[in-house]
Amino acid sequence: MAALLQTVVAEFIDGFVRAYGPFSIPVLLFAVGAVGYIVLVVLGRAGVEARHSRGEQMRPGTASETADDDERR
């Protein structure tokens, strides 16, 4: 299955470069990054937050503090 997926992706990239040229790769990467950023902004505005592991339990009122803030005190 992985080999098939790798072949399909390789053929897509090869066809894309042949059709639009090698300078389209940075444009494609930028577009993918922009879409990812927009998704993160939408999730952030919707109130979705990262879950903390058990070792990183946050105390109430300290969500914006970092380890550097603790060292300064």
Question: Tens digit of pLDDT for each residue in 3-27?
Answer: 999 999 899 889 988 999 989 889 9
Buried b / exposed e along 17-56 (16+ C-beta atoms within 10 A): eeeeeeeeeeeeeeeeeeeeeeeeeeeeeeeeeeeeeeee
Q: How far is CA 55 from CA 2, 51, 67, 69, 71, in A?
A: 35, 11, 14, 18, 18
Kindly tell me the number of DSSP H helices and DSSP E strands found in the chain: 3, 0
Give the per-residue pLDDT at 73: 56
Predicted TM-score of the model (pTM): 0.50
Domain segments of the chain as ranges: 23-47
